[in-house]
Chains A and B, each alone.
Chain A
Amino acid sequence: MQSNAALEYDYSVAKLFTYTTILFGFLGMLIGTLIAAQLAFPDLNYLLGEYGTFSRLRPLHTNIVIFGFTLSGVFATFYYSAQRVLKVSMAESKFIMFIGKLHFWLYFVGALIGVITLLLGYTQAKEYAQFEWPVDIAIVIVWVLWGVAMFALIGIRREKALYISMWYYIACFLGVAMLYLFNNMSVPTYFTSGGVGSIMHSVSMYSGTNDALVQWWYGHNAVAFGFTVPIVAMIYYFLPKESGQAVYSYKLSLLSFWGLMFVYLWAGSHHLLWSTVPDWMQTMGSVFSIVLILPSWGSAINMLLTMKGEWNQLTENPLIKFMVLASTFYMLSTLEGPIQAIKSVNAIAHFTDWIPGHVHDGVLGWVVFMIMAALFHMAPRMFKREIYSKKLLEAQFWLQTTAVVLYFTSMWIAGITQGMMWRAVDEYGNLMYSFIDTVTVLHPYYAIRALSGVMYLTGFLMFAYNMIKTMSSSRELTEEPQFRSPMA
């Protein structure tokens, strides 16, 4: 950059991560739709030999949407918004630019290796922690690079106060670092078996109940620090910026932040209710899950109140629609989760389809909606072009909202039916149904879910098309929009 050129924010790294968000989002949801269809129509398991089976594809789905799509979205929005709230450009430091780019390329190569190894069947067999140790090491390096970029940027900031979004990004960084390291402690079986085992297959350093506890301390907090904290970071920046309204109560945002940090880490044992972990721990998991409603709703209500007096924007601006719906779904799933964590409810809900139902009203309604809205907000600023089509945006909104509703309602019905059938006994105390009876009853709901997958995926393709058109051929803007994103 020429030294006399006016200083500008540098979005090159944010752009790169935007591309991978779209790529991995498409791949992950395509596989999600396929496995949803497989559950309804099992013959679809045999399309691609071993590589096309449900058991091979399910971890691929979860890992691509979590570590591919969501993390890309987190990085893209971070590299975009952190510069802005810190009022410092990445272009001001060659070092930060270098780290940012290295971060992206290592991430991308690591992600590809991750996808390939999972497809080949290398797995630690721990949920959301399936990657074998070489991929884990790559992930750790990528994560450290992100941290370096983050703190270097903070180090040279002009805005001394850290905006609330930055707190959430920092928490995401620290939280995931701690969780990931502890849960992925493992030893290749080669070393534990006197050379009989394999270098590429490792087993956890913990065993039995302890392993389960560490796993779900991790698993639940992966939701906390991957699907909640950085997405809250996004909404705290993008909703105020897009609407031109400062956050309703900054104090409430601080309080919810610390509340969330206190409470989340203790709730993980709700994944192990009625199992062999100590009873007090299960109770603690339940209690903390209920308390978790408060800080979660604290943020969500704060966002809704930010729109106070400006609700007309909801009808005029589709991006506001996306974000308001996202925070509403955040409220829904943070109420639903605590309900499922009550022991008596969990006795029915656990192992049933209600759980994926809960997961997806959170991720489809909250995570994906928020990430897409953020990228749409960023696009006109990064590419200096208006958003390609408002009509397409509106259509996408309604299609995907319908899809989410179909997904979770079908899974609610399926889950509760399943739970009730499993425990139903006749007058002599014999079980009334065998497993296959439930499968027969559930078939229509699985078919509905597969349909919702097709709809949601179509919506995502509309998003991708709109974004690509925005990048390449939309009308050019002469100056950066201040608040509302311009769209044709």
Chain B
Amino acid sequence: MDIRELQGYASFFMTILLVGVLYWYIIYLYRSEKKGEKDYEKLGNIALDDEIDSTPINTSDPVSDEKKERNK
């Protein structure tokens, strides 16, 4: 197998791998939201509420947010 052929195969399998990773990422995004681990949509507010003294939307982790609230 010469180098050109190798490059071809490498490119092919890398594509498959990356496509796999991308699909896994979609599933990951939705699953972690469903389980309540993350709340991505909340982050959209970062653009709207962007005064220097407004409270940070801060974490994408509602569970730890709750903990913080309780510890206050």
Contact = CB atoms under 8 A, between A and B. Distances in A.
A160 B47 contact: no
Interface in B7-48: 8, 11, 18, 22, 25-26, 29-30, 33, 40-48
B52 A8 contact: yes
Interface residues of B, number: 29
A161 B57 contact: yes
A297 interface: no
Given A7-B53, A87-B52, A255-B26, A240 B47 contact: yes
Interface stretch (A114-122, A242-250, A324-332): A242-250
A163 interface: yes
A148 B70 CA distance: 38
Contacts of A83: 52
Interface residues on A, range: 35 or more
B48 A160 contact: no
Contacts of B58: 159-161
Contact of B47 (A85, A258, A262, A284): A85
A159 B26 contact: no
A262 B44 contact: no
A247 B41 CA distance: 8
A165 interface: yes
B72 interface: no
Contact of B52 (A89, A241, A280, A284): A89
Nearest to A163: B46
A262 B18 contact: yes
A244 B8 contact: no
Given A7-B53, A255-B25, A159 B48 contact: no
B4 interface: yes
Contacts of B45: 246
A373 B2 CA distance: 53
Given A161-B57, A251-B41, A85 B50 contact: yes
A161 B59 contact: yes
A405 B65 CA distance: 50
Interface in A71-92: 83-85, 87-89
Nearest to A243: B48
6 contacts: A84-B50, A161-B60, A240-B47, A246-B41, A246-B48, A251-B41
Interface of A: 7-9, 83-85, 87-89, 158-161, 163-165, 236-237, 240-241, 244, 246-247, 249-251, 254-255, 258-259, 262, 278, 280, 284, 483
The 5 nearest A-B residue pairs measured at CB: A246-B44, A84-B50, A163-B46, A159-B56, A247-B44
